[in-house]
Amino acid sequence: MLDIEQYIRDVQDFPKPGVVFKDITPLLANPEAMKVCVEELLRLTEMQPIDKVVGIESRGFFFATLLAQELNAGFVPIRKPGKLPYTTFKQPYTLEYGMDSLEIHEDAIQKGDKVLLHDDVLATGGTAQAACRLIEQLGGEIVQCNFLIELSFLKGISKLRDYEIRSLLTY
């Protein structure tokens, strides 16, 4: 089987000095690598029933939409403030230096919907934690949070202790 890790490029000092950015664009550029990646992310779900796949802006959208299609589920975007056109709920969260927030349409998830949350990278966990709060505020039940990459040294999983967490690659 194809090793998707060979399609993850390290970019030194991006977006700031001292950071090694995990660039997934080589993976996205290769159709076979993308296919294998989707298959492996699906395998992580153990094919549990899923009503909605929620993707976090922006790189989470790449695979979340493909997962939704394969799971015969709806896709729901969670975005930065001011990017969604309809009435939203907002959830602030803490960054390393400051605050940010995420938004979701108020009608995107129905009470009792089984939800798969997907993002490309689990780093410090603040973004995923805020997304989980939004999903639960709407009455969704988070079946799993899955990620292409987990940066375990940043201990983001500690903010998601109440959820089943799965990642394809761990660094």
Give the right CATH number for 47-170 from 3.40.50.2020, 1.10.287.3510, 3.30.420.40, 2.40.10.10.
Answer: 3.40.50.2020
Task: List the Cα angle 38/117/121 in 5-degree steps.
Answer: 70
pLDDT at 1: 72
Residue 14: alpha-carbon gap to chain centroid? 20
pLDDT at 98: 77
pLDDT at 53: 98
Q: Which two tokens stand for residue 10?
A: 């390290």
Rg (CA), the chain: 15
Which residues are designated catalytic?
A: 59, 96
pLDDT at 67: 98
Instruction: Give pLDDT < 70 ranges for the chain.
Output: 96
> pTM value?
0.95
